Amino acid sequence: METLSSLARVILLEDDPTISLFYNGILQKQGMEVTCFSDIKPAIDFLTENHLQNQNIVITDLQLPGGNGLDFVREIRKVNKHIPILVITSTEDPKQIIEVMKEHVQEYLIKPVIPSELLSRIKYQLSNKEDSYVYSDYEREKIISLEKLLEWYSYKNTRIKKGDLNTNELHKNLFYGLRTSLAQGAGFGVLSQLIDIIKAMPKADNGGVILDLDILNILEENAIYSKKVLDRFAEIEDVIFDRVEIDEVSPLKLYNEMLKLKEEVNPLLLLKDQVLLIPEYNASKLSSKLIKWNQLYFKKIIYELLLNAMRFSKHSSRIFFLLNFDSDGIYLSTINSYAEEEFSKKGISNDYLELIFEPFFRITKNIYEKHGSLDFGIGLSFVKQTVEKFGGTITALNLVDHTNETKETKIEFKIFLPYSSSLK
C-alpha cells in the first residue's frame, strides 16, 4: 500500500480507547503524526491555542463525552475554514448527517470503517492540498497549459502544429484541476455525498426511498448551484469561440451599469454590513470617446469583481468602485480590504497576484457562503478572459492605505479598456 506523506499531521478525537488505538496504529504505519484526544474539552483547548495551523486533517467521532462532535466541528470552522474534516460515527440518522454536512465536512464514514477505505479518504483529502500542487506546477511553466485552459483549443492546435504537445502532462494538469474543484465545496461534491446517504435511507414498501424533506432541500439547493457552474462554463465557451457580440459605446453606459449594480448588490452588502462607494463623474468625460463592450458580459464581469470584493473584505468595511480616465483609455477599479489576518498586513505575495487569475486557483478554500458565489476558482479567470476579448487588460495590486490612524493593506483589481482605435 502506498505510504502517505510523513509530513501529514492528524488530529484524532475518539473516546473509545480501543478504536483510538486502532486508528492511531493504522495512520502511524503510513508515516503520519497523530495527536489523539478522548474528550472534547482538551481538543477544543488545543484548537484555541494553535488554530490547527500545523495540522493537515481532523478525524472526529460524533458521540463524545463532555459534548457532541458536531460542536467540535463548529469550533474548528470558527478558527480554521480550510482544514479537511473527516467524521466517523455509528449513527445513520439523516438529520444528524445533514447538520454535519452544513458545516462543510469533507468526509462522513459510518462504523465499522474498513482501514483501506479510511486511508483512501484521508489520502484523497490530503491530495487536495493546493500548496504542493501550485508550487510544483508553477515552476513548470506555471502549470504548463493550465494558464491557457480557457483558450484550450487554440493552445492545443498550436502545440500539435509545433509537434511538442505533451498530451499526458497536459491532461494530468487539466483533470487534476477539474477533479479537485468539482469534488470539494458545494454543488457537485455535496451531490455525490448525498447519493450515498440516500442509498442508506429507509425504503418504502414498493422499494423506493423515503426521502427526508431536509435532504430534498439540500439536493435542490446544490442542483441549482451546479447548474450555475455549468452556465459559467458555457459563458466561458462563448467568450473563447467569439460568440459574444461587441458594440462601441460611451463610457457613460459603463458608469450607468455600475450604478445599477450598486442597487442590485445592496442585499449582499448587508450580509457583512459593508458600504459600496462610487464617486460622481463629469458627464462630458464619460461621453466624449467610445469603448468596446457587451452590456450583458460587462455586467457579469463587474458583478464578479464586486462579489469577490464583498466576500473577501472585512465586516463593516468600505469597498471602492472607481473610474479613471487616460489619454488612451479608461481604468475601472475595485478596491477592498483583506478580511484574512495573514493578508491584511502584507497583502498577497507577487506570485499569488499573478496566479489569482488562473483557472481553479484559490488562495483560500471553502468560501461558499450566503453570497451565492461559485467557489471553483473560475470567477476571476472568466473576468480576465472576457476583458481581454474586449481589448483590455486586468491586474491585481496590493495597495497601502494611509488614510486611517494605522496603515492597512488593500487589494485593487484594475481593468484597462482602450478607446476604439479610430477615435483615440
Domains, in order of start, for the chain: 9-127 (3.40.50.2300), 130-182+207-240 (no CATH), 247-423 (3.30.565.10)
Of the candidates 281, 357, 279, 269, the one whose C-alpha atom is nearest the C-alpha of residue 318 is: 269
pLDDT at 338: 87
CB count within 10 Å of CB 259 equals 11
The Cα 298–Cα 304 span in angstroms is: 10
pLDDT in tens, 367-390: 445 676 655 567 888 899 899 888
Query: What's at 256, amino acid-wise?
Result: N
pLDDT at 170: 47
Contact by Cβ (8 Å): 272, 315: yes
Contacts with 334 (C-beta within 8 Å, 6 or more apart), sequence order: 305, 306, 308, 309, 319, 320, 321, 322, 412, 413
End-to-end Cα, the chain, rounded Å: 66
pLDDT at 377: 66
pLDDT at 160: 55
Lookup: cell for 213: 424533506
Q: What angle do CA 109, 112, 114 make, to 5 degrees?
A: 80
Compute and round to an integer the Cα radius of gyration of the chain.
Answer: 24
Q: What is the pLDDT along the chain (424 residues), one digit of tens a residue?
A: 444 445 688 999 988 888 888 888 889 888 889 999 988 888 888 888 887 877 889 999 888 877 778 888 888 888 887 788 898 877 666 667 667 777 778 777 887 788 888 888 888 777 755 443 333 333 333 333 333 333 444 445 555 556 655 555 544 444 444 444 454 455 565 566 666 667 666 777 777 777 767 767 777 777 777 777 778 878 877 887 788 899 999 888 889 999 999 999 999 999 999 999 999 887 776 767 899 989 999 999 999 999 989 988 889 999 999 998 888 899 999 999 988 777 777 788 776 777 788 766 666 654 445 676 655 567 888 899 899 888 999 999 998 877 777 778 899 999 999 998 754 4
pLDDT at 130: 44
pLDDT at 306: 94
- Paired with 417 in beta bridges are 330
Of the candidates 299, 291, 284, the one whose C-alpha atom is nearest the C-alpha of residue 248 is: 291
The Cα 193–Cα 222 span in angstroms is: 11
pLDDT at 71: 86
CB count within 10 Å of CB 290 equals 17
pTM: 0.55
